[in-house]
Amino acid sequence: PGSPRLEVAELDPAVYGAVVKELGLTAEEQKRIITTLGDARNFVDDRLRENQKLVAAGKPPILYDFIYGDAFNDFSIPSHLTTREFLQDTHDLLATDGVYQANIIDIYPRTEFP
């Protein structure tokens, strides 16, 4: 609340639609919460490229105070979001005192297979 800019990368358009519907986001809130439909890795790569252009033009890069990773594929985080390169790229988007937090998942012992 009160943050002037929030950005979200959401892979599934149906999830975005459900969020808008169930949370009752107003048109103003939807403008403040910038949602990019697509993969988080692509979002990070695109933001880094845009930051390079900003810096080359003598402007400050866009950095984040808080990045939250919450991506799952069945019972695991997609592997391309767990690489050293991705985490370094994510780190490069953080403000000096920024925080990266990730929701993790663990496979629990199963007695039955789906």
Annotated active-site residue in 45, 46, 65, 70: 70
Query: Helix count (H) and strand count (E) of the chain?
Result: 4, 4
For residue 82, the cross-strand partners are none
106 an active-site residue? Answer: no
Specify whether the CB–CB gap between 77 and 45 falls below 8 A: no
CA 110 to chain centroid, in Å, comes to 30
Evaluate whether 25 touches 19 at the Cβ level (below 8 Å).
yes
Phi-psi region for residue 28, left (φ > 0), alpha (ψ -120 to 50) or beta?
alpha
Which residues are catalytically annotated?
70
